[in-house]
Structure 1
Amino acid sequence: MDLKMLAVVFGTVFLAELGDKTQLATLLFAADKEVNKWLVFAGASLALIATSALGVLGGGLISQYVSERTLNIVAGIGFIAIGAWTLMR
């Protein structure tokens, strides 16, 4: 197992998830006093696993047809566009 790659992926996703809408939604669900916190944790964890699986499957499929360089450029442009759109709102 490539522990360095595992650490890089973990660190990147962990930092990307901090303070995003998903984490805030999870926080709001957990703030309800009548809700079982373990169920909130389980639901949020399963959702992250499912979306990560879709990302891995999609990335593997797309990489068969598009070069890694092109994917990096498209992703970079997409992030810049989302950032610009967010600032203009």
Structure 2
Amino acid sequence: MEALIASFGMVALAEMGDKTQLLSFLLASRFPGKQWSIIAGIFVATIFNHLFAAALGDWAASHVSPDVTRWVLGIAFLGFAAWALIPDKLDDEGNNGKRAGAFATTVVAFFLAEMGDKTQFATIALGAQYANLSMVVVGTTLGMMAANVPAVLLGERLTRIIPLSKMRFVAAALFAIFGILILFKVNFGLNLGT
């Protein structure tokens, strides 16, 4: 259960103001009335991407010493904190994707957008940290959905309520706290990669 909660929280916060959240806004505007197809596409892309990332993290954890893992995780989460403060730009190259349909366009766009993204790296780190990969994948997927479904359903109205800059700041602060706790072996009863 701990892996699920930590994974959900980390990814939901990391997604605030991320390019995939901006992609959700864009897809909702390009495919009006197709919100459920977009949401299904986000779900499918996330499951595949995060299964791969968590498995990679699990493999790395079984081949690297606990002290090295702790330092890598701690520094990675501090890096995620800095990365969360940097606004993402969604590159729009003029291809509206309408020929492929809302679902297929979303699956491909989200899968590619997540490659090398901070949430993918967070999922790798969480896969290295927790032995229960299924809970990591469920948690990261639910976190991704929690951040992106409102973006699809509410569109631009959401950014008027909660500015993206504030969402990024909260995500950065939580990543930094998590990284510091890992580096200093503070666990408060949690398994923080030590």
TM-score (norm 1): 0.71
Match in the other structure for 1:71: 72
Number of the residue aligned with 1:54: 52
How far apart in 1 are the matches of 2:28 and 2:4? 29
Q: Secondary structure at the match of 2:62?
A: coil
Kindly report which structure 2 residues correspond to 1:19-38, keeping only aligned pairs within 5 A, or say none.
Answer: 19-34=17-32, 36-38=34-36
4+ runs of 1 displaced by more than 6 Å? none
RMSD: 2.7
User: Matched residues, percent identical?
Assistant: 34
Unaligned runs of 5+ in 2: 88-194
SS of the aligned residue for 1:15 comes to: helix
Tell me how far apart the structure 2 counterparts of residues 13 and 27 of structure 1 sit (CA, whole Å). 18
Q: Per-residue displacement from partner, 1:18-60 (whole Å, max 9, x unpaired)? A: 2200111011101225451111101111111112111111001
Deviation at 1:73, TM superposition (A): 4.6
Query: How many residues of Structure 1 are paired with residues of Structure 2 in the alignment?
Result: 84
Kindly provide the amino acid, as one letter, of the partner of residue 34 in structure 2.
N
| Counterpart-to-counterpart distance in 1, 2:12 and 2:39 | 15
Larger fraction in helix? 1
Shift of 1:5: 3.0
Change (3 A) 1:60 1:5: closer
Compared with structure 1, are the counterparts of its residues 61 and 30 closer, same or farther at alpha carbon in structure 2 (3 Å cutoff)?
Answer: same
Amino acid at match of 1:22: T
When residues 6 and 26 of structure 1 are mapped into structure 2, their CA distance, relative to the original with a 3 A threshold, is: same
TM-score (norm 2): 0.37
Greater RCO, CA 8 A, separation 6+:
2
Q: Which amino acid aligns with 1:56?
A: A
CA distance in 2, matches of 1:77, 1:47: 26
CA 1:81–1:8 in structure 2 vs 1: closer, same or farther (change >3 Å)? closer
Q: For the Cα contact (< 8 Å) 1:30–1:40, is it kept in 2? A: yes
